[in-house]
Structure formats: C-alpha cells, structure tokens
Amino acid sequence: MKLWGGRFSKSTDKSVDDFNSSIRFDARMYAQDIRGSQAHAKMLGKQGIISQADSDLIVKTLGEILTDIEGGKVEFTIDAEDIHMNIETILISRIGDVGKRLHTGRSRNDQVALDCRLYLRDESEELAEMLKGLLKTILTLADENLDTIMPGYTHLQKAQPITFAHHVMAYYEMFSRDLSRLNDWKKRMNIMPLGSGALAGTTYPLDREFVANELDFDDITKNSIDGVSDRDFVCELAFVLSMIMVHLSRFSEEIILWSSNEFGFVDLDDAYSTGSSIMPQKKNPDVAELARGKSGRVFGDLMGLLTMMKGLPLAYNKDMQEDKEQIFDAVDTVKMCLPVFAGMLSTMKLRKDKMLQGAKGGFTNATDVADYLVKKGLPFRDAHAVVGRMVAYCLDNDTVIDALSMEEFKNFSDIFAQDVYDAISLDTCVNMRKITGGPAKETMKKIIDGYKNN
C-alpha cells in the first residue's frame, strides 16, 4: 500500500504510477533528502516531539541507508513514487514503527523544497569551482599574450587593433560576473523552508532555527505558503546558467571563426577537435560547436521553468515536480561544458603572425590617423573627412595608409609630418590606449596582476 493509501479504495492505475512517479529523476537527491531528514529527526528528539531514543535510531538508520545507497545496495521503486517516500519506506522497513515517526510535523511539500535547495546549493559549489578554473585559464592565456596584436572587430568588420590579451579578458569579465551572480543567488536561496508543512505550518513546536543551523542555512522562510510554493531559486539558477551559456556560446562562435581557414588565428589541439568521416583533410571545432549548440537546451530549461510556474495558484501543485528534470539538465549541461571548454582554450595554439597580418589590413589605424590630425589642431569632424578620403584613395590604389609617401600624405593635408608614421603604427595604436580598460600592455598587465592577486 502507498504511504498515503489510507483513504483510497483501490490502487492507482499502472499508467498513473509511471506518470506520477519522479524517482527516475529525483533519486539523485538521496543524500540531501537523508541529510534533511536527519536534521529534522534530531530536532524532533531535542524538542521532545519524539523520544530521544527514537530520534537517535532514525538518525543512525538513515546514515546506514546512505551508506547502502552509495554502495549500490539499495533499489528504489516506482511504487514509492519519489525519493522522499522511497527513503521513508526503506527506513520503515528497517525500524518499523520508529521510522513512521520521522514525518511528524513535515510534509513532502516542505521536504521537496528543502531537498532542492540543498541539492542545488551543493551543485553550485562545483559550478563555482569550474568557473574559477575557466577564469584561471583565461588569465594565463591573457598574461602570455599582452603583446599579441590582433584586429578588433565591430559588425565583424575590422575596426581597431587590440591584443589577444585584451580580447580574452573581455570574457574574463563576463565569467566573473557569472561567478558573482552565482554568489548572489546563494544569498537569496539559502533559506530553510522546513516547518512550512503542507502550506499552513504546523502545531508542533518545531525548532526551525535549529534545523537551519544544522543544514548551514542563513535564515528560515517567513511565510509557510511561500515556503512551499517558491521556485524562484530554481528559475534564477536557470538564468545564471543561461547567462554562462550565452558567454560560452559567444566565445565558441569566435573560436569557430578564428580556427577557420579564412581567419587562421588559432589552431585547435587535436585532442579537442574531430575529423570528418568523408573528408580526410577536415579538423572540426566540435567542442566549440557543441558548447554553442548546448546553450539552446539551457535556455529551453529556463523557458520551461518560467512557463511551468507562471499560472500556478498557491500553494504546492504537482506541476512543480517538473522543475527537476529541467534544472538538473541545465546544471549537468553547464558542468559538462565548462571543463572541456577550458581544456580547449588552454591547449589551442595561437597563430600570432596571422593575427598581426589581420591587424595590418582593414585600415585598423584609420582612427589614429584622424586623432593625429586632431592633436595638431584640426577639428575631429574635419579630420574624419580627410582620413575618409585617404581610405578611398588607398582602396583605389590597393595600398594602406602607413605605406603612403610623405608627398601623398601632404596631398590630403599639409598638417601631416614625418612623425605620422610612428603615430599610426600598430604598436602605437595599441600601446597609447593606456586608458583603464584599454588594450595597452601596461594597462592590461595591471588589470591582470590585480586579478591574479584576488
């Protein structure tokens, strides 16, 4: 009979059992379920709601069940519906009536809210470590490439010269924000819901603060209806994960472009590339493509969660069981992407010659030619027009601005003098941009050193 079977006159249809049960996906929360139940049982004993001896036996047996699950000695059943009732059923099968006292003053509604928080909090620690690993990889890559000049793009058209360090440090900023979002998320989610009961709290004198303390929560929920209805923390984590995927996906897109024959800026390591079954010459950036592609499923998880929640009346509704597969999928996906992406980055070879070559084309120093004229007194708009004419001239004559003779320069403006060549060299363009946030080696180095000591 089901743990809740008392008021029923017949058993559920087999199809309903399959449909209703969540054990096939919530079994992964077994450790958190046991941890939560142990804290609850301890508190019940301390408060004299159950005897100390019963409390001790429950805590001890739950510990044994945990060991047995981890040793592969336990089989969960669909009959017991979900991880909460599976563990309770096993407990009762081992210690009989004492086990039946565990669920005093608790509902599966506050239990599942607790377990999800504990589970996602544990996962978030791993995610944070992985993000830190990726940040470290990026920092090393940047530190090694403070002098590696490449073209910077807007509209995917060459714009101004930058360095590879400057470029990848943009991703460092993005992933740092992701890490800080994860930390912020924890501040809001680390609140203990047990004691909310089914929705209206309980008449037992539970010590909620004690349970919160046992389980490392910062606070307890302040409204029992919200305590069991709230899945903000699930949606919010799905958003944090989606944002990580946006960043991984943009970075992937660049790596895919850079590794193409047309760009040739990077050469991916063989260990992080794959071949074609038909074209012998191919080396494909599959890791980057998959990371880009997997962003879609994480966004889908977020959309699914928001849509699932938006029409639900308070308090618990079974719809909310659907939160798990989606947030688990989002967590699993990001956890799979982060380390492999970091591995791909740290092993890829840079084709610095190609990057420099790229920066030399496309008139990336045109802004600096205009700035040269401005520094000698010409209003910026006039300077812009002069250089525009110079670019058109260069295009007609298949040359670049720095290759023009002094005579040619003078044809456009007599302000130009010999010092222009130095003023518009790629090295000057990059290293005179010392403004905080800019690509100059000394500026970038300062930023990187600051992050290293963090």
For ligand ARG, the binding residues (CB under 6 A) are 22, 26, 82, 108-109, 112, 316, 318, 320-321
The least distance separating ligand ARG from the CB of residue 329, rounded to whole angstroms, comes to 15
- With respect to ligand ARG, which residue has the nearer C-beta, 32 or 145? 32
Phi, psi for residue 410 in degrees, rounded to 5: -60, -30
Smallest distance from ligand ARG to CB 112, Å: 4
Active-site residue identified among 9, 15, 155, 405? 155
Q: In terms of Cα–Cα distance, which of 129, 348, 146, 356 is closest to 251?
A: 348
- Min separation Cβ 322 and ligand ARG, Å: 8
18 vs 442, beta carbon nearer ligand ARG: 18
Closest CA to 416 of 379, 377, 385: 377
Catalytic residue among 51, 93, 260, 276: 276
| Residue 328 CB neighbours (<10 A) | 18
Task: Mark whether 276 is an active-site residue.
Answer: yes
Question: Tokens for 358?
Answer: 């790229």
What residue has token string 């699930």? Answer: 234
In the complex, least distance from residue 449 CB atom to ligand ARG, rounded to whole angstroms: 48
Name the minimum Å distance from CB 10 to ligand ARG.
19
Q: Which is nearer to ligand ARG, 84 or 101 (CB)?
A: 84
Compute the least distance from the CB of residue 74 to ligand ARG, in Å.
18
The answer to whether 298 and 336 have CB atoms below 8 angstroms apart is no
Kind and range of the H or E element at 153? strand 149-154
Structure tokens at 69: 């699950």
How many helices (H) and strands (E) are present in the chain, helices listed first?
19, 6
CB of 196: closest distance to ligand ARG in angstroms? Answer: 12
d(CA 429, CA 301): 44
Q: Which amino acid, 378?
A: L
Q: Pick between residue 234 and residue 248 the one whose CB is nearest to ligand ARG.
A: 234
- Kindly tell me which of 311 and 377 has the beta carbon lying closer to ligand ARG: 311
Residue 363 · residue 394 · CB < 8 Å: yes
Cα atoms in the 13 Å half-sphere on the side-chain side of 71: 7
Report the SS3 class of residue 182. Answer: helix
Q: How far is CA 267 from CA 161, 249, 258, 360, in A?
A: 21, 19, 8, 20
Between helices 30-46 and 52-70, what is the axis angle to 10°?
170
User: Residue 11 has what DSSP assignment?
Assistant: P
First and final C-alpha spacing in the chain: 57
Contact 167, 183 (CB under 8 A): no
Largest CA distance in the chain: 101
Give whichever of 252 and 321 is closer to ligand ARG, judged by the CB atom.
Answer: 321
Nearer to ligand ARG, 14 or 318 (CB): 318
Residue with tokens 């006039």: 382
Give the nearest distance from C-beta 64 to ligand ARG in angstroms. Answer: 24
Of residues 26 and 329, the one with the C-beta less far from ligand ARG: 26
Cite the active site residues: 155, 276
